[in-house]
């Protein structure tokens, strides 16, 4: 199918490692993580549990990317408010052009925005980092380990763009 970019097998181990600062569950419930969340000017969450955690902390993500799944099992979408909803298909281990377009629209349009993925949102933190305004805080779930924070600075954007190019996505998003 055109507009789909599949994660090559040889990149899976690399992307299984946190792409930023990992906060373990004990840190998430401690004082430092909520302080980081509160200080963040623009927040993106990728994952239903992460989005739900932010909602319970009283911080509505500016952009939330969810798929109504947790550990590959269906669940209710997070009960976190949004004003704009983009629904896209994105198969597992894939990044689609339509998902990238929805993330771009979520940054450009009214916020808070939700990108509801039919399929899997696991890899969508990567284009979110590339497309996010400078210094955006992108949080995603690291299964069984906690929440990862990637600050969308020049280095993180370059690293994420490199991953996208290696997956075959166009050089410019």
Which domain, by its residues, includes 96?
20-166
Task: Report yes or no on 7 lying in a domain.
Answer: no
Which tokens in the block code for residue 70? 């947790």
Res 172 pLDDT > 80: no
Instruction: Supply the mean pLDDT for the chain.
Output: 94
Is residue 151 situated within a structural domain? yes
- C-alpha 102/C-alpha 156 separation (Å) is 21
**5 inside domain:** no
Q: Would you state the pLDDT for residue 2? A: 58
- Among the listed ranges 1-5, 84-88, 133-137, which one has the minimum average pLDDT value? 1-5
Tell me, yes or no, whether 161 lies in a domain.
yes
How confident is the model at residue 163, as a pLDDT? 93
Question: 3-state class of 34 per DSSP?
Answer: helix
Does residue 60 lie in a domain region? yes
- Quick check: 59 and 38 in contact, CB under 8 A? yes
pTM here is 0.95
Whether 8 is covered by a domain: the verdict is: no
The total number of structural domains that make up the chain: 1
Residue 1 has pLDDT above 80, yes or no: no
What pLDDT digit, counting tens, does each position of 47-93 carry?
A: 999 999 999 999 999 999 999 998 889 999 999 999 999 999 999 99
Instruction: Tell me the average pLDDT across 129-153.
Output: 96
Please give the angle made by the CA atoms of 119, 95 and 146, to the nearest 5 degrees: 70
């Amino acid at each position: 199918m055109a507009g789909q970019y599949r994660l090559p097998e040889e990149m899976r181990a690399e992307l299984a490692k946190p792409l930023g600062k990992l906060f373990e569950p004990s840190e998430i419930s401690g004082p430092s993580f909520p302080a980081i969340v509160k200080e963040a000017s623009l927040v993106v969450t990728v994952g239903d549990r992460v989005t739900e955690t932010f909602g319970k902390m009283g911080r509505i993500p500016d952009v939330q990317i969810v798929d109504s799944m947790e550990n590959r099992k269906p669940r209710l979408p997070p009960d976190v408010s949004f004003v704009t909803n983009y629904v896209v298909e994105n198969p597992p281990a894939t990044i689609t052009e339509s998902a990238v377009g929805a993330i771009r629209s979520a940054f450009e349009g009214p916020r808070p925005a939700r990108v509801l993925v039919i399929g899997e949102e696991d890899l969508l933190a990567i284009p979110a980092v590339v497309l996010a305004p400078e210094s955006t805080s992108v949080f995603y779930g690291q299964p069984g380990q906690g929440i990862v924070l990637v600050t969308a600075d020049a280095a993180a954007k370059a690293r994420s763009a490199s991953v996208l190019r290696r997956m075959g996505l166009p050089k410019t998003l």
